[in-house]
A = this chain, B = another copy of it.
Amino acid sequence: MSSQTFELLILGSSSASPTSERNPSAQLLNIAERYFLIDCGEATQIQLRKFKAKFQAIDHIFITHLHGDHFFGLPGLLSSMHLLGRKQEITVYCPAELKEVMDLMNKVSDTHFNFTVKWVFTNNDKLNLIFEDDKVEVYSFPLKHRIYCTGFLFKEKPLPRKIDKFKLDKHNLSTADIPKLKNGNDVINKDGVLIKNSEVTIAAREAKSYAYCSDTIYYPEIIESIKGVDMLYHESTFLNDKKDRAEKTYHSTAEQAAQIAKAANVKQLLLGHFSARYGDLEQFIAEASPIFENCLLATDGKRITI
């Protein structure tokens, strides 16, 4: 009956150029033991090993856009999955051209994976449901960057109600009633008596959500898609001292990320995709927190329970 996992592992927090401390973009999100890899910058497979993440448990990879710092690690990761014996299908959600890249990589290296790569090409027109199972939904939505780019929204489905096992006996209920109770239904017990759901169950915690927005210029149009999420990752490549540069390169500052977080009424803001020029990342918190207090830094290896 313990609550399901919703945990994020930061694999890379740098922008275009890696530093000795920060790898390019990649995150591993575990929702109910579904492992979602979000972006896959160079050396993501090395970071996965370093932080002892479940390599082959990843069945879904989400690529926001085709700047190298967000996908140069994909060919190596898929190759290693193949070499290490993977047979299980993997789905890649991405801009259509990424398949061309992988096809050419496999052609020149005469590589034939022993598993299927299923390609789901994103659209950046509106909020689109791109994955769904019994516990999780994933959506893509448009960001505004120099090239085609989408964000991703990960949402738990409402969690089943929790059952008080002692009360099952007390009310003379059978285990066959459990699924109905979990879904919130009343049931008839072995004696033919109606048992109200609220007498034997308690509500589970609220379903949680995580939104990933990188890379993007300050773009209030995303607010509608990410409203009220438990955690928002919003890129903050620059500080306000480089606001002009942020605009010119279609990136955001920490202040702008905080403005989006506030307007979208999210619960927590995670800052990342830091330019290599910044050594002391506390400056990002100092800039964002006067506008949106509950903010934290993405740093390589950090694990966050959402």
Contact across chains for B101 and A105 when beta carbons are under 8 A apart = yes
Q: Which B residues touch A50, using CB under 8 A?
A: 20
Q: Which B residues touch A107, using CB under 8 A?
A: 97
Contact across chains for B147 and A110 when beta carbons are under 8 A apart = yes
- Does A175 have its Cβ within 8 Å of any Cβ on chain B? no
8 Å CB interface, A38-65 against B:
42-43, 45-46, 49-50
Which of B49, B66, B105 meets A19, CB within 8 Å? B49
Contact across chains for B42 and A83 when beta carbons are under 8 A apart = no
Q: Which B residues touch A23, using CB under 8 A?
A: 46
Contact across chains for A109 and B76 when beta carbons are under 8 A apart = no
A72 CA to B101 CA in the complex, in Å? Answer: 12
- Does A176 have its Cβ within 8 Å of any Cβ on chain B? no
Which of B17, B98, B111 meets A84, CB within 8 Å? B17
- Does A18 have its Cβ within 8 Å of any Cβ on chain B? yes
| Known A97-B108, A100-B104, A110-B147; 7 more pairs at CB < 8 Å | A16-B79, A17-B83, A20-B50, A43-B43, A68-B76, A68-B105, A69-B79
